[in-house]
Amino acid sequence: MGEVIGILFMVIVLPLALILHYVTRWRETKGLSREDSRLLEELWQDTLRMESRINTLESILDDEVPEWRKRT
Q: CA dist 65 to 5, 12, 54, 56, 62, Å?
A: 85, 75, 15, 14, 6
Q: What is the pLDDT of residue 3?
A: 84
Cα angle 51-35-19, degrees, rounded to a multiple of 5: 125
Model-level pTM? 0.56
Q: What pLDDT is attached to residue 20?
A: 92
**pLDDT for residue 56:** 97
pLDDT at 72: 66
Q: What is the pLDDT of residues 7-65, one digit of tens each?
A: 888 888 889 999 999 998 888 788 888 898 999 999 999 999 999 999 999 999 999 99
- The residue ranges of every structural domain in the chain are 1-30, 32-72
pLDDT of residue 19: 92
